[in-house]
Amino acid sequence: MTFTFDIELDTEQPFVVVLDQDPYRTQVLQGAIVLQMTEPEKFKVATIAIHGHIGVALNIDTKPTVVHERLIESSVDLVAANDTEGQGTISISGSGTQYIPFRIDVPRSHELPPTLLNKLDTHYIDWKYEIHATLQRDSIFASTKTVKHDLIFRRPIAPLGETTATLTASTDMPGQFRSKLTAPSRTALGEDKLAVTVEMKARHKSYMVKEIDCAVVQTEDISYYTRRGHPKVENAHVPGVPCKVSASRLVSAFKKIPNDDNDLDFGRHKPIVIDLRLDNNQLIPTERGFDWLEISHVLRYTVHFMDVNLQPIVTELPLFVGHEGDIPVEEVVEVKGTGSERKHGVARLMESLKTGGTDNNTTLMAA
């Protein structure tokens, strides 16, 4: 063979595409097929294409059935775009490194799920994207050659109205117990730890702290409905076969700090600093842009008391996880609570903060 070839994309990172979120604009990718030639050639086939498919495992008649659906299909005939001689071929007259430039559309880019989410803790749904370049020499016996690369699509999702980097949650139980939790409200892929600061004061010996623990929890909610009917599904002509998955998992080390000295002033005079180790093999960026998929994170902090009859106090702060390289702006948001009634529940959204062990919660967000 007198040539070899590969694909180059005009993107900041190789084969990493930041999806355009404007629904009224078609995103266009630019690049080139890069050829290494030993002699001049003519090509009668030259195409560039983007393929994307989603696979969904459905339980049909108690048997698992994998359904594949197309997410994107876009192709450009480069012969038609570059045939300057009207002979149905592309002529490459030189040797060495040669280029066939291309432009290709990414249809409905605002609707495409990013591939950074393929680390979901489920075997029921997955998707991928590829870019293909295909060439065939202008010869009767020439074979078709194709080069493929995986494409990484990511969505530039910003936290909804959230511009701060620090959150503070205060729990005040008059005459009994008081605590203050301070933690970053944002982190990013590639960060390996999260620094959390805790201040506590037991106002009565019955509220002496036994231990505290802290962890980051990632919640993955999927409610995907297939887009077309399938032969093995009743009323196959009607789309809408559901695939629902709800999962929660720790994406940090579980950090526990005991009050080994049975000290009533544990955490009172000197703040306790907790360094949480983040698991970047499982951490996924926060995702709120789809009606069928949501990825959210909370920092879960729990206070356990010596008195086993006292329920633990659970405080949860929302945590926004951005793409690698995201840099937060330092500000402070404080969440205060007063009262003795304990509440439980998961605060999954930035605007829905809940502090276990408090009666009233007020969120003061810096605009």
Q: Is the pLDDT of residue 342 over 70?
A: no
Between 121 and 75, the higher pLDDT residue: 75
Q: Is the pLDDT of residue 75 over 90?
A: yes
Q: What is the spatial distance between Cα 183 and Cα 191, in angstroms, rounded to a whole number?
A: 15
Task: State both tokens at 237.
Answer: 């002509």
Q: Which pTM does this prediction carry?
A: 0.75
**pLDDT of 139-188, one tens digit each?**
888 889 999 999 999 887 665 555 557 899 999 998 899 999 999 999 98
Task: Please tell me the class of the 3-154 domain.
Answer: mainly beta
DSSP state for residue 252 in the 8-state scheme: B
Partner residues linked to 303 by β-bridges: 212, 313
**pLDDT of 20-74, one tens digit each?**
989 899 999 999 999 998 888 888 999 999 999 999 888 766 677 788 889 999 9
**pLDDT of 250-288, one tens digit each?**
999 999 999 999 999 998 888 999 999 999 889 999 988
Between 323 and 163, the higher pLDDT residue: 323
Q: What is the spatial distance between Cα 70 and Cα 74, in angstroms, rounded to a whole number?
A: 11
Q: How far apart are the first and last CA of the chain?
A: 62
Fold adopted by 166-364: Immunoglobulin-like (2.60.40)
Closest CA to 109 of 8, 25, 11: 25
Report yes or no: 348 and 248 within 8 Å, Cβ to Cβ. no
Torsion of CA 328, 332, 338, 342, to 10 degrees: 10
Report yes or no: 44 and 89 within 8 Å, Cβ to Cβ. yes
- The answer to whether the 3-154 and 166-364 domains have the same CATH topology is yes
Q: What is the mean pLDDT of residues 81-108?
A: 85
What integer best gives the mean pLDDT of the chain?
Answer: 82
pLDDT at residue number 289: 79
β 16-18/90-92 pair status:
unpaired
In order of 129, 258, 294, the CA distances from 224 in angstroms are 18, 43, 11
Q: Is the pLDDT of residue 192 over 70?
A: yes
Q: Could you state, in order of their start, the residue ranges of all structural domains in the chain?
A: 3-154, 166-364
